[in-house]
Amino acid sequence: MQEIARPAPPRQSAWHTADTRTSEQFAYYREAICQAFMNLTPEPAVASGFVASVEHIRLGEAAINRVSFPEHVVRRSAADIAASDRSCFYLNLKLAGRCRIRQDDREISLSPGQVGIFDSDRQFALLHDRGRQLQVASFWVPAEALRERLPASFDVTAARVSDDPFVGHLIVETARTLSDGALRMTEDDGVHLFRALIELVAMSLSRQSRARTVEADSLTDATLLALKRAIHRRLREPGLAVVDVAEAVGISERYVHKLLARSGSCFTDYVIERRLDGIARDLREPAMADRAIGSVAFDWGFSDLSHFTRRFKQRFGCRPRDWRGR
């Protein structure tokens, strides 16, 4: 039996609310964007009348959705996410008006000529405002198409990739070229150009991640240095506690422990070892040869001489008086 070839789905689909009654325009728009994108929950800014258009252009497994609309809000709720069987990223090129994208604890804004990315698997709100008729070219990016170009377990948060100082202008121009000319090129050419766009976006996101990591590491190193300096300034204080240096640096007691653990130590051991180092230096000073060892230890914050002697021997391999005798 000869298999009957199924016709390929059309490359382009379009919806126009102007062809429907005013009272039904927003409902028609809501159905159109759910078909073009995936489950979304738009909220109208006005009671009735909503002149909008949606144009869907297929790019292999991906797509471009060119949408024109008045001011309104689009949300992706937990119920919308649960009802969707695929994951994607939205890569939006703003063409007219302004949009604010809220996802997790972040908000980015897009003005004409800017490109932002956000995740369909997390709740978001798109606040389309500042313009009577707004336009966006939104690229439907299969999640696997981007993730396979990023480091393992990379977390893609809402970001404005057009700000990248190296490839931001290439992202904008490539997105604009695809938006304007997708139907004038073959689908294969469109798919190749789309892949180039995703490579640029992945490059930008990876660079931003490395920069954030370096920045975070630099801040952590600077805070650890400030913490150690605060400890050194107060080493001679008997009963020096974590809370004392935490308040001096302006961080939490928990973070003090975390920073010192990062350098392979704990607060008590670090304080004792630095005190012992100070005592060892003093015991070698000819000018302090007449001072009793116990007095030197008390001066460095020790209150228990037997504990001091035991820790000194553990650190330097001999008793304090033998160290001085050398």
Residue 301's closest CA among 276, 270, 318?
A: 276
Better-scored residue on pLDDT, 31 or 262: 31
CATH 2.60.120.10 residue spans of the chain: 12-214
Compute φ and ψ for 64, nearest 5 degrees. Answer: -115, 135
Who wins on pLDDT, 52 or 47?
Answer: 52
pLDDT, average across residues 246-272: 90
Mean local confidence (pLDDT), 6-11: 64
pTM for this model (two decimals): 0.64
- For residue 3, pLDDT over 50 is answered with no
**What per-residue confidence (pLDDT) applies to 2?**
45
Helix (H) or strand (E) run with residue 53 in it: strand 53-59
Q: Residue 144 pLDDT more than 50?
A: yes
Range 33-38 contact pairs with CB under 8 angstroms and sequence separation of 24 or more: 33/65, 33/67, 33/74, 36/63, 36/65, 36/67, 37/65, 37/90, 37/138, 37/140, 38/80, 38/84, 38/86, 38/88, 38/120
pLDDT digits (tens, 9 = 90+) for 189-245: 999 999 999 999 999 998 776 655 555 566 677 788 889 989 999 999 988 999 999
User: Distance of alpha carbon 97 from its chain centroid, rounded?
Assistant: 26
pLDDT in tens, 96-138: 999 999 999 889 999 999 999 999 999 999 999 877 789 999 9
Q: Indicate where the chain has its CATH 1.10.10.60 domain(s).
A: 234-325
Q: Which fold has domain 234-325?
A: Arc Repressor Mutant, subunit A (1.10.10)
Mind listing the pLDDT tens digit for each residue in 60-97? 999 999 999 999 999 999 999 998 888 999 999 999 99
Report, as an integer, the average pLDDT of 305-315: 93
Report, as an integer, the average pLDDT of 158-175: 93
Q: What is the CATH number of domain 12-214?
A: 2.60.120.10
CA–CA separation, 244 and 254 (whole Å): 13
Share of the chain above pLDDT 90, in %: 69
- Strands (E) in 97-214, as ranges, are 98-103, 106-110, 115-119, 124-129, 134-142
